Amino acid sequence: MRPAATAVTAVRAYIGIGGNLGDARATVEDALRRLALLPDTTLSAQSRLYRTAPVDAGGDDYVNAVAQLDTMLTPHTLLAALQTIELAHGRERPYRNAPRTLDLDILSYDDLQFADDVLTLPHPRMAQRAFVLIPLLEIAPDAVIPGIGAARDLLLQVQDQAIELLN
């Protein structure tokens, strides 16, 4: 007798999307299209686009968004897929917080709290960034950051960060 197959269920992951080089708006829109094409993954929601000033960096304003994925990819496989999309848009990493054509970050992956040499979950600075919290709350008003708490409770801490909804 063969053992019963174990059902694999999708987990919910939130992806931060941003860019400030080239046609950042078109790049973010293309990244959203590419996220929808990832294997074993469904793009289940996406925020509108926002313009924000760089945080802890120089350069032009960013275009930002957050995507909600339901995926069966492991965190590291998902990260590799995101980096492939970044590379397709010419992403370079000359130094920390350098201006970029595209930045895709796993903000959270279900309720996983995890860290190794290449990935920390949830994203260690997501609770400190208006460009993450506001689009996240647009698509997930009850979002909870694992180990931190309700995302909406963190808005007061980022109220001094300028963010503008794009048309």
What would the two tokens of residue 27 be? 């790049």
Q: Which helix (H) or strand (E) holds 135?
A: helix 130-139
| Closest of 166, 22, 32, 45 to residue 99, by C-alpha | 22
Q: Which residues are catalytic?
A: 91, 100, 103, 105
Determine the Cα–Cα distance for residues 100 and 28; give it in Å rounded to an integer. 12
Calpha distance 154→41 (Å, rounded): 29
